[in-house]
Structure 1
């Protein structure tokens, strides 16, 4: 498995604020980001994004709730966008792109293969992040809560590594917030069954089944595909839970008897909105720290602010 390098150790995570080529170009131009992550894409078609049911709202002071699915742009849009961004900079590539994808195991394997062949052909530094944790897709629960689903993905990816004619890009899993020990056990058990497949884990995505009603009323603050207004909670409200996930996963990886599992690194995400959150994530074991809600609410300037104070 390949190692990843994110320097400085600060980046955006896959989110609605990394949807367009312009979004990615702004993030790439910053000296304070060590990598740029794309919004999660599907292989062939864009997700049928509908603003009437896919929404977000910011919750003072630092949280958010959203009912989004995946990107309205397919994988090929992000590959061509990244090429254009690097070319238009007029300089050699200065930081890697983390290309977020999702789908059934066999489709994810095709995505990773396409990313790898493209990266090899174009000499582009890229990582593939498999989003196994979106809570907002009706009738499609996050695969990272199921050991068998995790193993299905790992099996397909391991087979790809063995048969690919080009080097496979580093692969990561984006995990949901786990709330009890057995969930962590299932994750590590799956990883240990297929050592050497995963290079990094991004922990955590949003916390599903969250609901907020508008002040003074009984109506949900956002709409959703389910018609309930239930969505994923993010930002400061889940920061302690995300910290606990990073801490627990790091400790469990370190205790593994398999060196390939010990070598997996963690990108810490969830509620980081200032230098203190950044420092907490680093202290509990994150090799790099990702932002989403803070990016959406405060703009790209947040990265400069955190890095300057964190140096």
Structure 2
């Protein structure tokens, strides 16, 4: 049986722009309302980030009223426009940079038992290399580490999300070293029909090396328009959508995966992510079967205080 995650409270951030470096990761790790943190997804060699193309915005899903791409402040000073659209690829910081951040956080918090999930992607071979690199650091630091293989980014040109394709998915699962001592999970894209869920769970059952699944990443191929023009500066204005607009789809994905994982008797945790911004969203994710709940867009809107607000809401209800 692969190693398991231990996250208490069962709240964390998802891999996202607001987990890029220590200025973001430090307050997330220091928060008593997060039970773990996740780094932004990195490659072994880093990603060729271009500020002119790789950016994001917040928008209102009904009015298509949006901020300019690349809001200047964090957290966002305005309360509307709660959805997000991004054309980010992956982090420009290579994996070695994130491992240095892990060492720093561990040195600053020597008594902490809060896990750090290092999110990575690349080719199957480079993912093996990444897992082994994280495992080597885990032997030298006191805080628990885990690895998330992000197989779901919709914004990398020429590289559609591998988790949509059975052969590619299985190649990445085979890249997880046998006997790995760390929890290793997959971040998957939104699925929309039963065959996709079945394909994923079949592959998970055959692998036997996956500890958790993070569901879901952003929904790709989305466009926000103003005055008949796409707002994002990416080609065609396409980006990955997140926030409240994706919440029903993410709930459906978590519910479907939970049912199939349980039906197959697989001991795999689900991290539910997609549109959670308050206690009600948290409770919905838990109700449909997520052991843990992650936040991304609402983190960008509210900053780390979003976790305090969710925990406070849960605590008030528990006392009723």
SS at match of 2:230: coil
Q: Check the 8 A contact 1:267/1:289 in 2, yes or no.
A: yes
- Structure 1 residue runs of 5 or longer lacking an equivalent are none
In 1, distance between residues paired with 2:46 and 2:158?
Answer: 19
- Aligned partner of 2:282 in structure 1 is 278
- Aligned partner of 2:46 in structure 1 is 46
Q: Check the 8 A contact 1:42/1:70 in 2, yes or no.
A: yes
5 Å matches for 1:132-211? 132-157=151-176, 160-162=177-179, 167-195=180-208, 197-211=209-223
In 1, distance between residues paired with 2:167 and 2:108?
Answer: 43
1:24 offset after TM fit, Å? Answer: 0.5
5 Å matches for 1:186-265? 186-195=199-208, 197-214=209-226, 217-224=227-234, 227-256=235-264, 259=265, 261=266, 263-265=267-269
Q: Cα deviation per residue 1:236-267 (whole Å; 9 max; x = unaligned)? A: 000000000000000000000xx4x2x10000
| TM-score normalised by L of structure 2 | 0.90
Change (3 A) 1:118 1:86: closer
Q: Check the 8 A contact 1:62/1:273 in 2, yes or no.
A: no
- Structure 2 residue runs of 5 or longer lacking an equivalent are 61-80, 316-320
Q: CA RMSD in A?
A: 1.1
Q: Cα deviation per residue 1:262-302 (whole Å; 9 max; x = unaligned)? A: x1000000000111000000011111100000000111111
SS at match of 1:179: coil
Query: Which among 101, 104, 115 is matched to residue 81 of structure 1?
Result: 101
Q: Which runs of 4+ in 1 moved over 4 A?
A: none
1:122 offset after TM fit, Å? Answer: 2.5
1:69 offset after TM fit, Å? Answer: 0.6
1:112 offset after TM fit, Å? Answer: 0.4
In 2, distance between residues paired with 1:81 and 1:245?
Answer: 32
Q: Check the 8 A contact 1:2/1:170 in 2, yes or no.
A: yes
In 2, distance between residues paired with 1:303 and 1:309?
Answer: 10
- Aligned partner of 1:266 in structure 2 is 270
SS at match of 1:161: coil
1:86 offset after TM fit, Å? Answer: 2.4
Q: Check the 8 A contact 2:106/2:141 in 1, yes or no.
A: no
- Alignment length (residue pairs): 294
Q: Cα deviation per residue 1:173-212 (whole Å; 9 max; x = unaligned)? A: 00000001110011011111112x0000000000000001
1:59 offset after TM fit, Å? Answer: 1.2
